[in-house]
Amino acid sequence: MDFYNYIRDIQDFPSDGITFKDITPLLKDKDALKAATEEMLRLIGEVEVDKVVGMESRGFFFAPLLASKLNAGFVPVRKPGKLPFQRVSKTYALEYGHDTLEIHADSISKGEYVLIHDDVLATGGTAKATCDLVEALGGVVVQCNFLLELKFLEGSKKLNGYSIKSLLQY
Ligand code: AMP
C-alpha cells in the first residue's frame, strides 16, 4: 500500500511557513489504518516492550494500538496541567521559547522497556524530552517510533544513540 497517498500537506498551518502533515486521511481509511499499524509493528520487530509512551496529542492515535498488539501498557505524555496524579516534568527549548511535557510519576517502573511513539519526528525536541522523562523514571528506551519523519529537519541528530524508526520519510 502506498501510504504517502494518505498523507495530506496543509500549507501555512498552524502558522505561516509551516507545511502540516495531516494524517487524518490515513486514519479514516480502515485498510490504511490497519496496514500502517502492521507496518509499524514490523519496524518495532522482536524487541521486548513493557510500555508504549505516546505524546500529546497525535501520538495518542497509534500508541495504544501498538501497545495492545505488543502486549504492553500505554502511557500518555501530556502538556502541563492535564495529568491529575503526581508528575515528573521536562522543559525543553523550541526555536522560539520553551515547552514543557509531563508524565505520571508511577507510570513506568525502573528497568522497564519503553517504546516511544509519535506521529511526526520534526526537530526531535518532543521525542528527546520524552526520552528524558522515561529515563528519569528508570525506564529503558528501546526505540523511538514514528509514522513519519521530516528528514530535512534532522531530528534524528537530537536522538543520537537511540534506535529511530519511521514508516514514511520526507
Ligand atoms: P518536534 O518536537 O519538532 O520533533 O515536533 C514534533 C511534534 O510536533 C509532533 O508531536 C508532531 O505532531 C508535531 N509536528 C511538528 N511538525 C509537524 C508537521 N510539519 N506536521 C504535522 N505535525 C508536526
- Residues 94-109: what's their mean pLDDT? 94
pLDDT of residue 142: 98
| Closest ligand 1 atom to 124 CA | 4
Which residue is closest in CA terms to ligand 1's atom 12?
A: 120
- Residues 108, 51: contact at Cβ < 8 Å? yes
- Residues 131, 118: contact at Cβ < 8 Å? no
The fold adopted by the segment(s) 46-169 is Rossmann fold (3.40.50)
Strands (E), the chain: 8-11, 19-22, 51-55, 73-77, 87-93, 98-104, 113-121, 140-149, 164-169
Catalytic residues: 58, 95
User: What pLDDT digit, counting tens, does each position of 31-41 carry?
Assistant: 999 999 999 99
C-alpha–C-alpha distance, residues 74 and 64, integer Å: 6
Quick check: 26 pLDDT over 90? yes
Q: Which of 24, 90, 95, 120 to mutate to test the pocket of ligand 1 (most atoms within 8 A of CB)?
A: 120
Concatenating the DSSP letter of every residue in 45-78 gives TT---SEEEEETTGGGTTHHHHHHHHT-EEEEEB
Which residue is closest in CA terms to ligand 1's atom 23?
A: 120
User: What pLDDT digit, counting tens, does each position of 36-95 carry?
Assistant: 999 999 999 999 999 999 999 999 999 999 999 999 999 999 999 999 999 999 999 987
Global model pTM greater than 0.75: yes
CA of 62 to the centre of ligand 1 (A): 15
Helix (H, G, I), strand (E, B) or coil at 1: coil
Which residue is closest in CA terms to ligand 1's atom 16?
A: 122
CA of 157 to the centre of ligand 1 (A): 15
List pocket residues of ligand 1, CB cut-off 6 Å: 18-21, 55, 58, 118-127, 155
- Residues 149-170: what's their mean pLDDT? 98
User: What pLDDT digit, counting tens, does each position of 104-133 carry?
Assistant: 999 999 999 999 999 999 999 999 999 999
pLDDT of residue 49: 98
List the domain boundaries for the chain. 46-169
Exposure string of 51-77, with b = 16+ CB inside 10 Å and e = fewer, is: bbbbbbebbbbbbbbbbeebebbbbbb
pLDDT of residue 96: 83
Helix (H, G, I), strand (E, B) or coil at 80: coil
pLDDT of residue 3: 98
CA of 120 to the centre of ligand 1 (A): 5
